[in-house]
């Protein structure tokens, strides 16, 4: 009987012994500063920093580690970043330092690093698109097409005549006041064109000529020409386009955080990231 009671007591102890982990700093009672009779300890400062800045910093830091593992910094990236800096400097002139300070950069190098980081993030998302190519092509069904848009049907008709003659679509767009530029674009299931436009994009072949879609809203007339239906022939363009989608970026983040086994061991941080950046919580 005593043994049974002992076992039950042990089980109850197990119950009280298991609680969520909170990572602690070493020397938590170390005084950082004392004002009057109030001591501010290292633990107090740490808890405050963790609550206010921990989740954003963690996600950024973890992302940087993933970038270090996946995307090398290339000379091309450095050149693009330096070129971007020159453009900014030429624009802001004497206000350049003010611009840097306003956006929270201590110096020019920090800003260059930020631009390079952005380029690496884009490359990372593009790599995700390549990794998940077949599934994403099924989901997004990308095509390359030219779309022009007119509010004046006479202009639309005249534009169509020019396009069929072979005039450059961007020149036609400008000459006939199209609200779209006439440049080629990647259109997917997430594009916001009308049902009629999407029907043409999804069914036309590259041999079909420009098609006019008469206005159903009484306002807009579209002209559409599909240039490529096989995404495998335009991989770079498709990857670049899809990489700009929020849905793809979110999926890519989750994919890489899972790939590199991102695991949180502090309950405060876990709850904060779950509340504000839930797609990054990938641990079981």
Partner 1 sequence: MTNLIKKYWFVSLVVIFLFVIIIYFVYDTNKDTLSGKKVDGNDVVYTINKIDKTADELYTDLYDKYGIATIYNKLEQAVANQAIETTEEMETIAKENSQTIISNFESQYGDTYEEQLLSALKQVGYSKVDDLETYLIQIQKITLLFENYLNDNPELVQTYIDEKSPRIVSHILISMEDPNNPTQEELDIVKKVEEELEAGEDFGVVAYNYSDDTASAQLNGSLGYATKDTQFVPEFLEAMLLLEENEVSDWVKTNYGYHLIKVDSTSLKELELVDDFYTDIYSYYPNMQSEAIWEKANELGIDFKGNKELEIKLKKYLGISE
Binding site for partner 1 (CB under 8 A): 4, 7-8, 11-12, 14-15, 18-26, 31-38, 40, 42, 44-54, 57-58, 61-62, 65-66, 69, 257, 260-267, 269-270, 275
CB of 108 to partner 1, least distance (A): 19
CB of 95 to partner 1, least distance (A): 21
CB of 133 to partner 1, least distance (A): 24
- Beta strands (DSSP E) in 71-188 are 143-150, 184-187
CB of 274 to partner 1, least distance (A): 11
Q: 46 or 96, CB closer to partner 1?
A: 46
Q: 183 or 276, CB closer to partner 1?
A: 276
Residue carrying the six token digits 């504000």: 276
- Distance, CA of 151 to CA of 84 (rounded, Å): 37
CB 224 within 8 A of CB 151: no
CB of 144 to partner 1, least distance (A): 36
Q: 223 or 253, CB closer to partner 1?
A: 253
- Comparing C-alpha atoms, which of 200, 206, 146 is closest to residue 173? 146
- Distance, CA of 252 to CA of 110 (rounded, Å): 25
- Distance, CA of 67 to CA of 126 (rounded, Å): 13
Q: 22 or 164, CB closer to partner 1?
A: 22
Q: 50 or 248, CB closer to partner 1?
A: 50
CB of 183 to partner 1, least distance (A): 39
- Distance, CA of 255 to CA of 282 (rounded, Å): 9
CB of 127 to partner 1, least distance (A): 16
Q: 12 or 250, CB closer to partner 1?
A: 12
Size of the chain in residues:
284
One DSSP character per residue, 180-248 reads S---EEEE-TT----HHHHHHHHH--TTS--EEE--SSSS-EEEEEEEE--GGGGHHHHHHHHHT-HHH
**Count of Cβ atoms closer than 10 Å to residue 182 Cβ:** 24
- Distance, CA of 72 to CA of 279 (rounded, Å): 25
- Distance, CA of 132 to CA of 47 (rounded, Å): 40
Q: 113 or 189, CB closer to partner 1?
A: 113
């Amino acid at each position: 009987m005593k043994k049974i009671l002992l076992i039950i007591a042990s089980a109850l102890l197990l119950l009280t012994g298991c609680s969520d982990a909170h990572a602690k700093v070493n020397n938590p009672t170390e005084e950082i500063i004392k004002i009057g009779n109030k001591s501010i300890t290292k633990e107090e400062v740490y808890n405050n920093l963790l609550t206010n800045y921990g989740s954003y910093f963690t996600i950024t830091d973890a992302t940087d580690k993933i970038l270090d593992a996946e995307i090398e910094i290339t000379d091309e990236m450095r050149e693009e970043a330096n070129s971007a800096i020159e453009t900014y400097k030429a624009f802001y002139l004497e206000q350049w330092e003010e611009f840097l300070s306003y956006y929270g950069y201590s110096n020019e190098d920090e800003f260059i690093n930020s631009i390079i980081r952005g380029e690496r993030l884009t490359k990372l998302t593009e790599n995700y698109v390549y990794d998940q190519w077949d599934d994403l092509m099924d989901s997004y069904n990308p095509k390359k097409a030219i779309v022009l848009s007119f509010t004046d049907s006479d202009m639309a008709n005249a534009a169509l005549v020019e396009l069929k003659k072979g005039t450059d679509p961007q020149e036609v767009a400008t000459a006939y006041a199209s609200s779209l530029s006439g440049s080629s674009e990647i259109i997917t299931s997430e594009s916001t064109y009308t049902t009629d436009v999407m029907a043409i994009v999804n069914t036309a072949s590259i041999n079909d000529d420009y098609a006019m879609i008469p206005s159903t809203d009484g306002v807009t007339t579209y002209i559409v020409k599909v240039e490529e239906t096989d995404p495998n022939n335009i991989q770079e363009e498709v990857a670049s386009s899809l990489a700009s989608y929020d849905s793809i970026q979110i999926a890519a983040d989750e994919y890489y955080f899972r790939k590199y086994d991102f695991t949180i061991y502090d309950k405060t941080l876990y709850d904060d990231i779950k509340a504000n950046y839930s797609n990054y919580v990938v641990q079981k």
